[in-house]
A and B are shown apart, each in its own frame.
Chain A
Amino acid sequence: MDKPFAITLDVGSSLANHTGSWRTQRPVYLDRIPPCNSTCPAGENIQGWLYHAESGDYEAAWRVLVEDNPLPAIMGRVCYHPCEGACNRAQVDEAVGINSVERFLGDEALKQGWKLTPPAAESGKRVLIVGAGPSGLSAAYHLRRLGHQVRIVEAGPYAGGMMRFGIPAYRLPRAVLDAEVQRILDLGVQLELNTKVSDIRRTMQEGGYDAAFLAVGAHIAKRAYIPAGAAAHMVDAVSLLRSMEGEEKPMLGRRVVIYGGGNTAIDAARTAKRLGASEAIIVYRRTREKMPAHDFEVAEAMEEGIMIKWLSTIKRMGEGTITVEKMALDDKGFPQPTGEYESLEADSLVLALGQDVDLSLLDGVPGLEKKDGVVQVATNMMTGYPGIFAGGDMVPSERTVTVAVGHGKKAARNIDAWLGGKQYAPAPKHEAATFDLINQWYYADAPKTVRPQLDLVRRQTTFEEVVAGLDVTNALFEARRCLSCGNCFECDNCYGVCPDNAVIKLGRGNRFKFNYDYCKGCGICVSECPCGAIKMVPEPS
């Protein structure tokens, strides 16, 4: 005992006192699924690639992006970005410009010549893909990366499907389309153009294919019976947009009327305007609220001087004139004829009334179910005939490029599983990162970067791209607006705010872990996590 007077014990550290035993609840780290990811029809890990874009590592961002979608430069132009509609940031100020960052990454990849990752090993299986549209290309990419031999057979003269023959060049420059298609072909995907598959089972047998993915699209324009004189010039929107890809540009005249209210009608009207029409009038039988076309496209069209006659149907077409009947909405909101007529001067009439699918290649295939002009598929995208899968516009769906790309990915995963005699089981979905989990204090306000638009005059007269892209500085700015909902971005808040030093920082890229020996379960880390990546759970007994 050489201790000083009245001292009987050695000095000890409070580390001997395991305060974790006080706890009734414990914090746990988790990844929640952010609204952008859960809304994306192509299943992109949007928050995941924005995370890399935020640090300026655009190649890493692009690589995460193309894990799910091989066409980012196209997506950045034609996707209707439901992700932005769901973005939590919209409730703080404005949604993150996800689509414009995606386009920036896509363009950067083309500029830098980044290549897709080739398959690690060959499986020895052969898969036939019918149709080189977004769905077929997406399936081809994913199947090839899984090691399968893939051959795309396309009826048309070019790859791209509706991206080429339906979407005007002012929205999707052909150089971009060609470059992203070529990058997929560079993985060793074979493409055979100008070949129509008329009997799928024979083609599969002759080629020795183990499975097939059909994505022929919907290319047959729907018709409506409109009495017309011999001199009347009537054309359907699908043919009009398709003929824009040929040498001879179509002749529509000075006054063009477009019949229909979908995005195709808008594309046709804007194309007519660019071909020199002084008047392009859309005739639609219902109201703007009921119009299936996307609102921003309608707005852009109207800015360009496209006129729209609401609540009107076309009764007949004579030489240089069209007779239109006015409609009125009934109690249930359906348009009913009123018997009032008026005449519109028109040199030509473009019908944009929707499209049907040519299903003749499936004639005689047993077990198939066709309904409303499309093929029914199971949740694994397989038709009623084993080994034949289908996706894109030819199955029941919303007909957009992004949905088609999503179908291609989903089908590829299921085909891969089917070829291996297995069932594809998607990973269980994480819980949703809703807005109430966001701690808004930690996010500063910043307006969305508005993509500079070409001036109106230029875009009315040329086919130059209407919406310009972001550059390096504002793309970074835009990416950094991401709230990283539900996914740790290593802000060190939990590490800093713990009154008990019970959070261990594992270093860059490795996030954090709790030291449950000392964590008292106060929950401050959960409250102060900006993005909702921690939750409290009852202490296991």
Chain B
Amino acid sequence: MAFEQVKFYQTGTFTVGNRLLEPELRSVQADTTRTNSLNSGHRACQGCGEALGARYAIDAAMEATDNQLIAVNATGCLEVFSTPYPETSWQIPWIHSLFGNAAAVATGVAAAMRAKGRETTRVVAQGGDGGTTDIGFGCLSGMFERNDDVLYICYDNGGYMNTGVQRSSATPPAARTATTPAMGPEPGNVFGQGKNLPEIAMAHGIPYVATATVADLRDLEAKVRRAMQIRGARYMHILVPCPLGWGHASADTIRIARLAKETGTFPVFEAECGEVTSRLPIRKRLPVEDYLKPQKRFAHLFGPEPATATLARLQALADRNIRKYALLEET
């Protein structure tokens, strides 16, 4: 595991802070001096997982780089809700250009910093799954291939949410979106399509790839810290539930992310130079139904006649993740 597991029987290190822990062992988010890079007043929906994930990640990156950080943002929810002209929620240097070119712009910013001799100023590019897996994929792959010194963070909420919940190549099978309606013989998004971007990034052989969720803050912060210790192209894929698009209660954002991990639906691991080096084990294995049922985008699977065959296929995908990433083994 990427971070020190401190054994506290009262609360483990699962909580954000813990008054019984030494201050240096507490999370960045527990600290009143955290950057709050994405400040209050942003227009994300109630319970937005992406707003939470972005603050977690960028605050951790700010801490890891001694506040020497520039963020490049792709178009998407994160950009739209944080910067309606002329307001901004960002309390860091931040630039937005287009939907598809965040990785290329970040490469340019990194090159500019190098040209100016400001090697200690680091660059993060960030975007949603649409700007990453679909529209910005070419630029991203190029950034990986050239091993440019950028950490690219994808906040994966499985669709184009602010434009009305359309399907992306990160939408999970069977999920209902505006463009994959729950009707016909195989309702929802089709099986066997889409992209697994963490694995594609690993196939580029870049120095560092990691996945995380908003439910495991300490794991997420440790991975950002690790990523900032490395030079070259790095990729982080953070699962951020979307109450609007997924159709779950706004209060359940973290719980849903936790269920994605505990069911094996979303494997949480890190890899260096194409090889998996650690995984966050499942604490208590749960069936995929526990993850799917609270989400309206999967409601069609649980009607009077449950779609048992579809559920079995989704369970098989989770089982494969568990096997492939050894998610049940203690590390």
Contact = CB atoms under 8 A, between A and B. Distances in A.
B295 interface: no
B278 interface: no
B44 to A, nearest CB: 6
B20 A480 contact: yes
Main secondary structure of the interface of A (DSSP, over half): loop
B40 A500 contact: yes
Given A12-B86, A499-B52, A501-B40, A443 B253 contact: no
B29 A22 contact: no
A291 to B, nearest CB: 35
B82 interface: yes
A457 interface: no
Interface stretch (A126-134, A328-336, A357-365, A487-495): A487-495
Interface stretch (B7-15, B110-118, B159-167, B224-232): B7-15
Contacts of B316: none
Interface stretch (A178-186, A225-233, A516-524): A516-524
A442 B41 contact: no
B20 A523 contact: no
Interface in B59-112: 82, 85-89
Contact of B251 (A444, A481, A484, A527): A527
B19 A489 contact: yes
B16 A522 contact: no
Nearest to B19: A490
Contact of A496 (B16, B20, B38): B16
A127 to B, nearest CB: 41
B251 A13 contact: no
- Size band of the interface chain A makes with B: 35 or more
B9 A524 contact: no
B249 interface: yes
Contact of A17 (B9, B30, B38, B41): B41
Contact of A528 (B11, B20, B46, B254): B254
A480 B251 CA distance: 28
B41 A16 contact: yes
B217 interface: yes
A55 interface: yes
A9 interface: yes
A19 B41 contact: yes
A446 interface: yes
A442 B30 contact: no
A501 B36 contact: yes
B233 interface: no
A112 interface: no
A13 B254 contact: no
24 contacts: A13-B39, A14-B42, A19-B41, A444-B9, A444-B14, A481-B10, A484-B10, A490-B17, A491-B16, A492-B17, A492-B29, A495-B16, A496-B17, A496-B27, A499-B55, A499-B253, A501-B38, A501-B40, A522-B47, A522-B250, A524-B253, A526-B251, A527-B251, A527-B255
